């Protein structure tokens, strides 16, 4: 015969104590004293997180503070300024903003990010994920394997493959297109590194979008299909609104990664004539090749600020989306 329960029956009996001698349901002494529910205590909890905090301080916090300090000095790799650097305040930052090379590098970086990340990787990754959403079998596995292979290969290996592909005399691309003698890296340097980075990074966008599209309820798509919606209308009215958060997250990550990408240096070394000298390459050549560590550090700080601006824009867009859907 089923039994019924009531608050009076479910409540602990008066005077009943747990094994620690306190009334049943009462918080433990450690929790009342400001400890934690796991019973570690503050000292042992601090001991657990201390190694991680030390690593963060050693490899993130200290280098960041050291870079800011160097940006305020005239520190150089060699010479008197290397032995006795002087604090110059904000002069390096002012000189960077007035430097035509800095402006050119920033403009090239924006082209690189917009072309290869925002437009290239995002659009190509979504297109592949959408086209492969209902595919099963060998074709889908082959496409995913090829994209993932491009993503996981080391940058040096990928660069060697692309140099062989784009070579003027014996390149595979010229053989396929019947364009002998075309020097792609010299005639189309910026387009070459943009396509190169799209090929390398499209796999991440594809995987993220494939997971997002997979979470769209099939009943919603079926309802739209029965209502006479075309494929484009299903995509516009059903899929995109539901995965907008994934799109913004993907754009944030690939924009930051591409903004700080150094791999094109292996392909063009910033040339020809600085036409592919994106910001990481410019800082490397300025700080290590020219020895102007202080000036290079100041540009690195400016680059960090640009990264923060990009992140804040995307975070604000994500927050606004959550407010709209709340």
User: What is the residue whose two structure tokens read 């539901």?
Assistant: 242
Instruction: Supply the pLDDT for residue 17.
Output: 53
Picking from 103, 143, 104, the residue whose alpha carbon sits closest to that of residue 127 is: 143
pLDDT tens for each residue of 301-319 = 999 999 899 889 888 888 8
Instruction: Supply the pLDDT for residue 43.
Output: 84
**How many whole angstroms separate alpha carbon 95 and alpha carbon 263?**
27
Instruction: Supply the pLDDT for residue 279.
Output: 94
Three-state DSSP string of 244-300: HHHHHHHHHHHHHHHHCCCCHHHHHCCCCCCCCCCHHHHHHHHHHHCCCHHHHHHHH
Strand residue runs (E) in the chain: none
**How many whole angstroms separate alpha carbon 44 and alpha carbon 117?**
44
Residues of the chain with pLDDT under 70: 1-39, 325-326
Q: pTM of the full predicted structure?
A: 0.80
Instruction: Supply the pLDDT for residue 1.
Output: 45
User: What is the residue whose two structure tokens read 């340097």?
Assistant: 189
Instruction: State the Cα torsion 284-285-290-294 to the nearest 10°.
Output: -40
Instruction: Supply the pLDDT for residue 18.
Output: 52
């Amino acid at each position: 015969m089923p039994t019924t329960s009531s608050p009076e029956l479910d409540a602990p009996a008066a005077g009943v104590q747990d094994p620690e001698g306190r009334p049943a349901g009462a918080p433990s002494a450690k929790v009342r004293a400001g400890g934690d529910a796991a019973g570690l205590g503050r000292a042992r909890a601090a001991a657990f997180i201390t190694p991680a905090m030390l690593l963060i301080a050693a490899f993130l916090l200290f280098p960041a503070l050291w870079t800011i300090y160097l940006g305020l000095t005239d520190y150089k790799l060699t010479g008197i300024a290397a032995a006795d650097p002087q604090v110059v305040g904000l002069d390096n930052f002012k000189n960077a903003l007035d430097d035509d090379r800095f402006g050119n590098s920033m403009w090239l970086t924006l082209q690189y990010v917009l072309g290869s990340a925002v437009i290239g990787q995002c659009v190509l990754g979504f297109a592949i994920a959408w086209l492969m959403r209902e595919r099963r079998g060998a074709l889908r596995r082959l496409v995913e394997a090829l994209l993932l292979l491009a993503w996981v290969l080391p940058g040096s290996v990928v660069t060697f493959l692309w140099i062989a592909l784009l070579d003027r005399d014996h390149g595979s691309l010229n053989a396929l297109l019947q364009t002998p003698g075309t020097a792609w890296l010299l005639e189309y340097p910026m387009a070459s590194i943009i396509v190169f980075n799209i090929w390398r990074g499209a796999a991440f966008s594809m995987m993220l979008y494939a997971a997002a599209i997979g979470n769209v309820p099939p009943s919603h798509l079926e309802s739209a299909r029965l209502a006479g919606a075309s494929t484009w209308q299903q995509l516009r009215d059903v899929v995109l609104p539901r995965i907008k958060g994934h799109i913004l997250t993907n754009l944030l990550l690939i924009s930051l990664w591409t903004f700080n990408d150094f791999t094109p240096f292996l392909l063009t070394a910033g040339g020809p004539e600085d036409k592919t000298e994106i910001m990481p390459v410019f800082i490397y050549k300025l700080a290590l090749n020219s020895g102007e560590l202080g000036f290079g550090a100041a540009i690195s700080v400016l680059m960090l600020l640009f990264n923060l601006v990009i992140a804040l824009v995307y975070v604000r867009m994500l927050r606004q989306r959550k407010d709209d859907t709340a």
